[in-house]
Structure 1
């Protein structure tokens, strides 16, 4: 209950801080109109808004409700083409995304279709990196000086649950961390130590784990320093396997090691554009395979990763998906299982 109370208090603070950025749409310009279900998560909205901004040079107008205002007002500061539609007003709609009626894009949240097959689904919206990454320039890619990196929240109370096993039959983040930290060649450092070691290359034959609890890298520099790693060891999120750091890594040429390859669209392929582990017993073998990989083999896989990201996760072609059911990833239990 205290967690919920804190979240509400945080949102109320955001409303107070960002209300001055509130905007009704009042123009004759054509717009992209969003009319999504009330259960739609903030990240789902941002996923769509960010992809739309990369494709259409148009205002994005959201049908107003007090709830949508409450969850989205914070982002009106960062995206100056965001507006709310005034009730009963008429606007010129270029494209409409809705879960009802005859919208140009009839939205559903049946992402299970994606992770249940390996082939590319053109009418499924690609997931995004952390939204802050789209508000910054593409970072410089640095020379490789770290073998494998793993970074994030490793709180046992949050991530050591049966959720991943029961719903997706994969290991949870805590179990992955607890197994890795026992292996030879794995070191745990804070962000400052990671940065200082980049000049020396001390960790080129190691796996480095950075826990948020011990001090990780700031979001503004995350991808810049992440690019120094050859591989990233990906672990599932709290609600669903897919986590934004895999895309952040691929965007700067870092090869993912993961246990949820089918959650990408199309599925990643072991040994071609990723390395895959499934059980605790796999981890040491996969770790050593990555750290001992030849330069030629690594270069081939890395090239495939960069090509994959550019083809499927850089800019999304909305026109190719129009007229079909439009699949989006909404991070609620009922929508992803």
Structure 2
């Protein structure tokens, strides 16, 4: 009975939101900046699909993604990040209407999620192709943290900073991917034995640490001890000169790479050739 009630409640909410987006949200489409989206299976790209459309909107494009109610329900109640498309006013237009002028159509046939094949097997030699650039975590865009002005800081700490989840089980799975890279679990286990390693246990500790002389140190804020909130990520990064960009679960780089660059942190990565165009490489001196 409870499950049935929950299903009906979800249905009513979906109907209300669908009608609201269809009829109550005004959209003004610029003739020269309209993108027509015709994706049948955006779930294949999960968070990256949201980021793709969001970045078009940030750039001033009108994003038209017409869809039926069934498709709307599927996307809204599926991937939590794709669902963000429907939580932001004016992000996409889902109405089934004809658009007279559009500068581009985005569809399934144009995209591929097989990044590993293109980059590692074909060695990035595929012609007439384009790598969608790396981007922030979706919540950084959704909550507007990605471009907020950073507070002024004094001299940056000549130290290496890292934060995030270092789950010892999940992050060892990267060995299944078709490349060789040190997983973040092994990284923290190795660096944690060094005399210049600092483990941050609280916000107060990190705040006090920034006021001290920590040049040459390796500072880790592990999520299980202290989780840095999204709105504070770039601010904390701005205090350090270097950021250790650990790999994801199945990817050689994570969204923290872009977040570090946005705060003018020098990225410390194992495979600098993964970036297009290849980053210059140099050494870091630590105590």
Which of the five TM-score ranges fits, normalised by the shorter chain? Answer: 0.7 to 0.9
Distance (Å, rounded) in 1 between the aligned partners of 2:247 and 2:274: 11
Distance (Å, rounded) in 1 between the aligned partners of 2:55 and 2:28: 23
- Aligned positions of 1:1-337 closer than 5 A: 20=17, 23-24=21-22, 29=29, 30=31, 31-38=34-41, 39-55=43-59, 57-64=60-67, 65=71, 66-70=73-77, 71=79, 72-78=82-88, 80-86=90-96, 89-94=97-102, 95-100=104-109, 106-112=110-116, 113-114=118-119, 116-117=123-124, 123-134=130-141, 135-136=144-145, 137-140=148-151, 142-143=153-154, 144-145=156-157, 147-161=159-173, 163-164=174-175, 166-192=177-203, 193-201=205-213, 203-271=214-282, 289-291=284-286
Distance (Å, rounded) in 1 between the aligned partners of 2:57 and 2:244: 30
Cα deviation for residue 47 of structure 1 reads: 2.3
Kept after mapping to 2: 8 A contact 1:191/1:217? no
SS of residue paired to 2:136: coil
Cα deviation for residue 108 of structure 1 reads: 3.0
Distance (Å, rounded) in 2 between the aligned partners of 1:216 and 1:28: 40
Cα deviation for residue 240 of structure 1 reads: 1.2
CA-based RMSD of the aligned residues comes to: 3.1
| Greater share of residues in strand | 1
SS of residue paired to 1:208: strand
Check 1:230–1:122 CA distance in 2 against 1; reply closer, same or farther (3 A cut).
farther
Distance (Å, rounded) in 1 between the aligned partners of 2:16 and 2:228: 30
Cα deviation for residue 258 of structure 1 reads: 1.0
- Given the two structures, how large is their TM-score scaled by the length of structure 1? 0.65
Deviations 1:57-102 (A, max 9, x none): 232122422422333333433352322243xx423351211134xx
SS of residue paired to 1:222: helix
SS of residue paired to 2:22: coil
Deviations 1:144-179 (A, max 9, x none): 135111111011121123x33652111211111111
- Given the two structures, how large is their TM-score scaled by the length of structure 2? 0.76
Kept after mapping to 1: 8 A contact 2:245/2:267? yes
SS of residue paired to 2:149: coil
Kept after mapping to 1: 8 A contact 2:50/2:84? no
Distance (Å, rounded) in 2 between the aligned partners of 1:225 and 1:257: 16
Cα deviation for residue 127 of structure 1 reads: 1.2
Cα deviation for residue 183 of structure 1 reads: 1.5
Check 1:264–1:24 CA distance in 2 against 1; reply closer, same or farther (3 A cut).
farther
Cα deviation for residue 128 of structure 1 reads: 0.4
Distance (Å, rounded) in 2 between the aligned partners of 1:124 and 1:291: 34
Unaligned runs of 5+ in 2: 1-5
Distance (Å, rounded) in 2 between the aligned partners of 1:170 and 1:189: 25
Kept after mapping to 1: 8 A contact 2:136/2:259? yes
Unaligned runs of 5+ in 1: 1-8, 101-105, 276-288, 293-337
> 221-230 vs 124-133, which deviates more?
124-133
Distance (Å, rounded) in 1 between the aligned partners of 2:170 and 2:275: 24
Q: Which structure has more RCO (C-alpha within 8 Å, separation ≥ 6)?
A: 1
